[in-house]
Amino acid sequence: MSSFDWLRSQVQPVGPFSPSYNDVCRVRAILKRLRLPTELVLEILEHAQYWPTREFKSDPSHPIVATARNGRPSAATLCLDAGVFNNPIVNPIRASGERYKIKDIMFDIVSHDQGWTSEGTQGSFSTSSWLEVSILRNETNSSTRLPGPRLVNEWISSPQDFHRNMVGRGWFLAQRPAQALQGPQDGEGDFAWYLQGNRVVDRETYRVIWSENESEGNMGAGSGEGFLQEVKEGDRIIVWARAKVCAFDLILLCLQRA
């Protein structure tokens, strides 16, 4: 059977299609049989975004709340922990010996602010609640599990606070570049990238995409500058729900695709 006959014989998927590593290898071989230069083959696959993807989701039935109150000036609640290099999508690529990296990362978020304001900022992004992303790294650079939940609890005030708890336990948070957007994080250290601010009072659905050289997003979105360049083998990606000054952030769904 020729390569094109094989393509025509395949059952068309229902819904979004994500190629496996074997699919990518097969299509790459088909294009090479057309005697196309390797550089052009790779450019075609890149333009088509024909690469394996993996989804990580929080549980939408359990809303995640970050609350700054009772004398606490800020709060950080774990929204999502993703072992992006320790999953079935990456394993066959690793076994083949090919080099691999994250091409882009998409965040789909449903969240809202506290539902009221006395400062006349309703509908704006002059917010006290937002989401941000950290890179959790093990000193041995091995793919291991997130530390026990007692270290990720309601008493964490910021990623910097979490980082201090982890130092000495074999874990630490990677630092973002100084030029990356800070937003309400200013003054908390450089241990997280600003992802998305909540529109004051309102509930919204947001989509933010970070790639190596560009970003896409809504108003109030962070650009993720330097984020993908910093992610290394063995790292885990953490999404935080954040709040300051008696605000709270309710996350109904936080989906991440790498």
Q: Is the pLDDT of residue 66 over 70?
A: no
- Rounded distance between C-alpha atoms, residue 242 and residue 145, angstroms: 23
pTM of the model: 0.79
Q: Which position has the token pair 């066959």? A: 92
pLDDT of residue 152: 57
For residue 73, count other CB atoms closer than 10 A to its CB: 12
Task: Return the higher-pLDDT residue of 39 and 14.
Answer: 39
Identify whether the C-beta of residue 81 lies closer than 8 Å to the C-beta of residue 87.
Answer: no
Confidence grade of residue 149 (pLDDT, cut at 50, 70, 90): very low
For residue 35, count other CB atoms closer than 10 A to its CB: 6
Catalogue the E-assigned strands of the chain. 55-57, 64-67, 74-82, 104-112, 129-138, 171-173, 193-197, 203-211, 215-216, 236-244, 248-257
Domain locations along the chain: 1-52, 54-257
Q: Is the pLDDT of residue 158 over 80?
A: yes
Mean pLDDT of all residues in the chain?
77
Task: Return the higher-pLDDT residue of 246 and 27.
Answer: 27
Residues 168-185, mean pLDDT to the nearest whole number: 79
Task: Return the higher-pLDDT residue of 182 and 196.
Answer: 196
